[in-house]
């Protein structure tokens, strides 16, 4: 029987608890999302617009974690990326529909379970309509997974506040073939509908210098 582990990187990473508590309180005073049956508090929209959500205080912290991830995945030395994060808080009865993070330029996605509840409510969703609840959703667990992987959150049936910080690593540039070829992504805003259009350029690195071997008569012996 075949099996697939959707988590491609994991660690348990503590976070400043005092800052976390203040941030959760501020998120609860901000945007609340009710779209498509969802019901949760989020900084996603304010961060998408101007990056000034209450959780933006952690941006440098997550940039450093993403550096570690890219090093371990063999991407740090040959790619240029940017990191987008947001916090979501789920109070009693709140949930999130099945969704993914893929828009074309995302390299990986992540969830940091900064304030979980006792039960497992985060799940991945496969092509056979199965919900797969990872064990890695305890306090401070940090998981990385493909952005196209569907996932969701069951109702919070407790009286506790559940909080996560989620994010995407967006690819700007990746070198291939010993840095000879590259893939570059330009993110273009569509003014008419507020959407985004990707322009993908596959080309040659103008700074690449091909190293040609020189053989002497002695070398050929």
Contact (CB, 8 A) for 204 and 99: no
Report the DSSP pairing between strands 162-176 and 32-33.
Answer: unpaired
Residue 181 domain flag: no
Q: How far is the C-alpha of 106 from the C-alpha of 146, rounded, in Å?
A: 9
Residue 106 within any structural domain of the chain: yes
Could you give the CA distance from residue 63 to residue 42 in angstroms, rounded to a whole number? 20
221 residues of the chain, pLDDT tens digit each? 556 789 999 999 999 999 999 999 988 887 666 555 678 898 888 887 777 788 899 999 999 999 999 999 999 999 999 999 999 999 999 999 999 999 889 999 999 999 999 999 999 999 999 999 999 999 999 999 999 999 999 999 999 999 999 999 999 999 887 777 888 888 877 666 667 788 888 888 877 766 555 445 545 44
Cβ–Cβ < 8 Å for 31, 43: yes
pLDDT in the model for residue 168: 96
The CB density around residue 189, as the number of other CB atoms within 10 Å, is 10
* CATH number of 138's domain: 2.60.120.620
In a domain, 161, yes or no: yes
| Residue-number span of the structural domain to which 87 is assigned | 9-171
In a domain, 220, yes or no: no
Number of domains present in the structure of the chain: 1
Residue 184 lies in a domain: no
Tokens of 50: 């101007």
Instruction: Tell me whether residue 73 is in a domain.
Output: yes
Beta bridge partners of 95: 39
90 domain-assigned:
yes
Is position 182 within any domain? no
């Amino acid at each position: 029987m075949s099996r697939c582990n959707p988590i491609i990187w994991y660690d348990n990473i503590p976070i400043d608890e005092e800052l976390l508590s203040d941030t959760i309180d501020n998120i609860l005073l901000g945007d609340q999302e009710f779209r498509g049956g969802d019901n949760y508090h989020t900084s996603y929209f304010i961060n998408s617009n101007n990056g000034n959500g209450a959780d933006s205080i952690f941006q440098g912290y997550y940039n450093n974690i993403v550096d570690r991830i890219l090093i371990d995945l063999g991407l740090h030395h040959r790619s240029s990326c940017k990191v987008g994060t947001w916090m979501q808080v789920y109070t009693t009865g709140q949930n999130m529909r099945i969704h993914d993070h893929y828009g074309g330029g995302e390299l990986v996605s992540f969830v940091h379970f900064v304030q979980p509840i006792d039960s497992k409510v985060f799940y991945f969703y496969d092509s056979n309509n199965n919900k797969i609840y990872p064990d890695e959703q305890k306090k401070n667990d940090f998981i990385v997974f493909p952005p196209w992987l569907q996932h969701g959150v069951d109702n919070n049936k407790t009286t506790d506040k559940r909080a996560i910080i989620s994010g995407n690593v967006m690819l700007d540039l990746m070198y291939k073939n010993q840095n000879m070829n590259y893939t570059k992504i330009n993110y273009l805003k569509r003014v008419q509908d507020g959407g985004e259009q990707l322009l993908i350029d596959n080309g040659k690195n103008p700074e690449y210098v091909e190293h040609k071997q020189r053989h002497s008569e002695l070398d050929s012996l």
